[in-house]
């Protein structure tokens, strides 16, 4: 394989400002993301949402890349983000085809205390695993967790899934519609190392077998609700901001509005993330639990 065509998506959610700002910066001057032998295309994915500084206009673009949406007859009656998904699939895809872009980086911010998180969609993507191993080593001793979203029931149909090798970058905590310089810089640094890796790969450097520790998505946890569906508890102070830290059976998980502690009753230790993410209230999700595992990546070399 080669990695000649690379896209950097910003503004998939229009109020996640680090990606929006970096991509706009690179559209003006792409010198920083230029690498030998690579065509790198910075791209604003949801311009209307960016203009309004809102997550989306009609529907979540980062869930819109389903087979059904991409094959629907195009027209103005479709939700804006579905029309946009079709256009993006045309430019960077088609999804699942040999013509698709080699790599898409999709830049996101979270209100959760996740730090710099790389998102992997397939445990069998050795190219991405090698890249993530390279990035983790490059930014050490700073941490860079890898979230593996491979799950039989939690299908996301992300904008980056159009590429052969989709990579999400989730950096937080940062409020929606706000820029924080430390978060902005973290995102910039991770992307620099990712592009360096691609350049080295294209120059013929062989990457030997390696292992990567990942957090595999396990289940979505909703807030406790009453019979009318109203939230009756909030994330417990012991859990708030503790993304990637162990949650053991019996640990405090939620606190009701009258002060009662609700404890985690699952089997065994899990590692929660996306804790109290602002954008997930509408998705009825307080956090996701993950389990730790180690993935092995085979050696890779340009062919």
Q: Which residues are catalytic?
A: 170
Kindly state the tokens that stand for 167. 């990579």
What is the rounded distance in angstroms from the CA atom of residue 296 to the CA atom of residue 247? 26
181 assigned ligand-binding residue: no
158 assigned ligand-binding residue: yes
180 assigned ligand-binding residue: no
Per-residue exposure over 63-82, b if at least 16 CB sit within 10 Å of its own CB, e if not? bbbbeebbeeeeeeebbbbb
Q: In this structure, what DSSP letter does residue 47 have?
A: H
Edge-to-edge strand order for the sheet containing 252-256? 233-235, 252-256, 261-263
156 assigned ligand-binding residue: yes
273 assigned ligand-binding residue: no
63 assigned ligand-binding residue: yes
55 assigned ligand-binding residue: yes
271 within 8 A of 245, measured Cβ to Cβ: yes
Q: CA 16 → CA 57, 108, 120, 166, distances in Å?
A: 14, 6, 20, 19
281 assigned ligand-binding residue: no
126 assigned ligand-binding residue: no
Per-residue exposure over 211-227, b if at least 16 CB sit within 10 Å of its own CB, e if not? ebebbbbbebbebbeee
Known binding residues for N-acetyl-L-aspartate: 55, 170, 280
Known binding residues: 13, 16, 55, 62-63, 108, 156-160, 170, 280
Known binding residues for Zn(2+): 13, 16, 108
Known binding residues for substrate: 62-63, 156-160
């Amino acid at each position: 394989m080669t990695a000649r065509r690379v896209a950097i998506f910003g503004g998939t959610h229009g109020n996640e400002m680090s990606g929006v700002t970096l991509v706009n910066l690179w559209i003006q001057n792409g010198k920083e993301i230029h690498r030998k032998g690579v065509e790198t295309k910075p791209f604003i994915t949801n311009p209307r949402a960016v203009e309004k500084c809102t997550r989306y206009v009609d529907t979540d673009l980062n869930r819109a890349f389903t087979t059904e949406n991409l094959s629907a007859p195009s027209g103005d009656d479709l939700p804006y983000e579905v029309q946009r998904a079709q256009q993006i699939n045309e430019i960077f895809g088609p999804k699942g085809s040999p013509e698709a872009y080699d790599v898409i980086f999709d830049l996101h911010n979270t209100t959760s205390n996740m730090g710099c998180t790389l998102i992997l969609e397939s445990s069998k993507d050795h190219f991405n695993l090698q890249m993530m191993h390279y990035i983790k080593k490059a930014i050490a001793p700073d941490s860079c967790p890898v979230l593996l979203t491979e799950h039989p029931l939690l299908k996301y149909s992300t904008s980056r899934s159009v590429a052969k090798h989709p990579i999400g970058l989730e950096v937080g905590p940062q409020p929606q519609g706000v820029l924080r310089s430390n978060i902005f810089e973290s995102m910039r640094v991770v992307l620099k190392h990712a592009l360096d890796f691609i350049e080295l790969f294209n120059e013929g450097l062989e990457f030997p077998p390696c292992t990567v520790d990942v957090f595999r998505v396990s289940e979505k946890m909703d807030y406790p609700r009453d019979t009318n569906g109203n939230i009756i508890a909030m994330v417990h102070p012991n859990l708030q901001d503790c993304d990637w830290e162990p949650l053991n059976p019996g640990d405090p998980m939620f606190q009701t509005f009258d002060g009662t502690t609700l404890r985690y009753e699952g089997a065994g230790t899990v590692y929660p993330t996306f804790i109290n993410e602002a954008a997930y209230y509408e998705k009825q999700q307080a956090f996701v639990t993950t389990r730790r595992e180690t993935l092995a990546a085979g050696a890779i070399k340009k062919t």
